[in-house]
């Protein structure tokens, strides 16, 4: 199955045309217009510099429904003790840079950082920051459109810091009536929080409803 080469035209092939590992297209740019178009079609960028830009739509898709969130007893104790303070959109730039620099390998290139900071300024990308004694120790960021949240990355330099941010995010989104958090690719870490795989076809149907405000 061929991988599509994107042009300057703002368009993507249908996600069903992705190859068996979910790779759909190559090339293009990270302009806000292209990124937002990608998200509305269940597509996201994921690549490593200096490799070419890659666009993905895996099948199955890992999704966390707010009402299915699972919190371990130990994490509940941490939250109850109020070890951390969680804020929203107070330090988006710092969070995305930390997500890029606190791990040995990252797909969050300088170009990615610039692109998502631009989305943040437009009101689409958001961060949740976990603070301890006034210091940023964990957090996450992602993109919100309609009633769907597309999780991008998280980081932690203190035990449980990113987990607490995730719990606060889920509760916040649930209060706003969001349908799901797109976790993109499957990890055991997120499955322990209740995330589960659904077929790409079902994900795209749910995404269309979430973007149109339908139940």
Residue 1's pLDDT is 64
| 205 or 48, which is more confident | 205
Tell me the mean pLDDT in the region 3-13: 94
Which residues, at least 6 apart from 202, have a Cβ–Cβ distance to it below 8 Å?
Answer: none
Confidence grade of residue 215 (pLDDT, cut at 50, 70, 90)? low
pTM: 0.95
Q: How many CB atoms lie within 10 A of CB 189?
A: 13
pLDDT in tens, 140-181: 999 999 999 999 999 999 999 999 999 999 999 999 999 999
Measured CA to CA, the distance from residue 91 to residue 74 in angstroms comes to 27
Residue 3's pLDDT is 85
Reported for 103-111, long-range contacts at CB under 8 A and 24+ positions apart, including other chains, are 103/155, 105/48, 106/48, 107/46, 107/47, 107/48, 108/153, 109/47, 109/48, 109/49, 110/49, 111/30, 111/49
**Axis crossing angle, helix 110-121 with helix 92-101, rounded to the nearest 10:** 160
When mean pLDDT is compared across 98-112, 127-141, 170-184, the lowest value belongs to: 98-112
């Amino acid at each position: 199955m061929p991988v599509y080469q994107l042009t300057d035209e703002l368009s993507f092939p249908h996600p069903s045309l992705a190859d068996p590992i979910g790779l759909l297209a190559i090339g293009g740019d990270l302009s806000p217009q292209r990124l937002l178009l990608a998200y509305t079609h269940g597509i996201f960028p994921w690549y490593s510099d200096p490799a070419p830009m890659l666009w993905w739509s895996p099948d199955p898709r890992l999704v966390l429904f707010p009402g299915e969130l699972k919190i371990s007893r130990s994490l509940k104790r941490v939250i109850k003790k109020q070890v951390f303070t969680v804020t929203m959109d107070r330090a988006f730039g710092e969070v995305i840079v930390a997500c890029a620099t606190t791990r040995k390998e990252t797909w969050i290139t300088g170009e990615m950082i610039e692109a998502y900071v631009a989305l943040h300024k437009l009101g689409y990308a958001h961060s949740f920051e976990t603070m301890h004694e006034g210091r940023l120790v964990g957090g996450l960021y992602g993109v919100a459109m309609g009633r769907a949240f597309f999780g991008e990355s998280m980081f932690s330099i203190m035990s449980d810091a990113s987990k607490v941010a995730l719990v606060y995010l889920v509760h916040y989104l649930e209060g706003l009536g969001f349908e799901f958090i797109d976790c993109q690719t499957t990890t055991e870490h997120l499955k322990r929080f209740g995330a589960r795989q659904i077929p790409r076809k079902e994900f795209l149907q749910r995404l269309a409803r979430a973007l149109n405000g339908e139940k």
